[in-house]
Amino acid sequence: MSTISSPIGPLGLWVPGIDLRPPTESAALAAEIESLGYGALWLSEGLVRDPFLEAATLLNATSTLVVGTGIAVIWGRHPRSVRAQTRALTDSHPNRFVLGLGTSHRLVVEDVLGLRYERPLAEMRSHLDRLDAPDPLIDLVGLQHPSAGRAPRVLAALGPKAIALARDRSDGAFSYLVTPEHTAEARAILGPGSTLLVEQAVVAGVDADEARARARGHIASYLAARPYRESWQRLGFTDSDFADGGSDRLVEALVALGDDAIAERVAAHHAAGADHVCLQALPGDFTSAPVDQWRHLAGLLLPTRV
């Protein structure tokens, strides 16, 4: 595997729940994100629409923006379906789709999807083996598919073993709710030949109390998820940081609040080895798109567009 060749640039947006609004609205949001100069738009696992179908809508609405799944959950998805959907997007929009895969965590897989969550790393290896295997149906009919090429692939990875798997079996790793210290550790495992994508939650353009309330609510929603707690423990956080909705230390380490902190955190991730930082602007209401923050952050962090 090698680094991602898609022109994602140093900065993108991670946009959860974009499929909660009609396709025409999500398409308009993608067009605005492209016009603001962001290199990529990353989709969460679909809430009401499949993320691969949503990616097609967003790619059709734009001309240069890279769209990636950040991430699509492997549980319940047959590798052949993933391969076919990825091929369709890559053939229609060469060099503009990135396949991001992950195992998520027990609360999502069992409580929401109703599937069994066990041995996630082994399941990911098995999924990749099947994803990379020859397609028996295509071989059966002797079809030579004129594909535009394999889509870049990244794996969600927090722990050392998952990061090593991303290094060995994909084009890079996608981290979430991490600090620049984690970014440096991930880069050391990945080495120079893999792409490192880092999600960074931020709140911009609101007063300090509101920003902190949004940040604390965001972190509180992940405190029960074991993979994140274990990741934070490896970074030096303790049980006391996980009590009462999360300590100030934990919240401030994971969510950048205000312009200065945001600019410093993005720079720190890049300095630690991130190739691309995906900003997640936290809205006051999950169902609303934080367009004002996207515009503000573009003015703060992206080169002025002529």
CA distance 73 to 245: 26
182 and 190 Cβ atoms separated by less than 8 Å? no
Report how far residue 72's alpha carbon sits from residue 94's, in angstroms, rounded to the nearest whole number: 20
Contact 45, 83 (CB under 8 A): no
pLDDT tens digits, one per residue of 78-123: 999 999 999 999 999 999 999 999 998 877 776 777 778 889 999 9
The position carrying tokens 């990875």 is 157
Query: Is residue 138's pLDDT more than 70?
Result: no
Mean pLDDT of the chain, nearest integer: 92
Q: How far apart are CA 292 and CA 185, in angstroms?
A: 33
Q: Which residues contact 207 (CB under 8 A, 6 or more apart)?
A: none
Give the residue carrying structure tokens 């009919």. Answer: 141
Sequence ranges of the domains in the chain:
11-301
**What is the mean pLDDT of the segment spanning 28-38?**
98
pLDDT of 4 strictly over 60: yes
C-alpha 184/C-alpha 161 separation (Å) is: 15
Q: Which of 4-13, 18-27, 271-280 has the lowest mean pLDDT?
A: 4-13
Q: Is residue 306's pLDDT more than 80? A: no
Residue pLDDT, tens place only, 139-190: 666 666 555 567 899 999 999 999 999 999 999 999 999 999 999 999 999 9
Distance CA 297, CA 283 (A): 13
| Lowest-pLDDT range of 1-5, 26-30, 131-135, 282-286 | 1-5
Structure tokens at 192: 């120079």
Alpha-carbon distance of 173 to 160, in angstroms, equals: 11
2 pLDDT band, cuts 50/70/90, is very low
Neighbours of 134 (CB within 10 A): 7
| Residue 194 DSSP class | S
Of the chain, the percentage scoring pLDDT greater than 70 comes to 93
Its pTM stands at: 0.93
Q: Which pLDDT band holds residue 268 (cuts at 50, 70, 90)?
A: very high
| Confidence band, pLDDT 50/70/90 cuts, at residue 1 | very low
**Domain made up of 11-301: CATH architecture:** Alpha-Beta Barrel (3.20)
Nearest in space to 156 (alpha carbons), one of 14, 56, 10: 14
- Distance between the two ends of the chain, CA-based, in angstroms? 36
Contact yes or no for 208/260 (Cβ under 8 A) = no
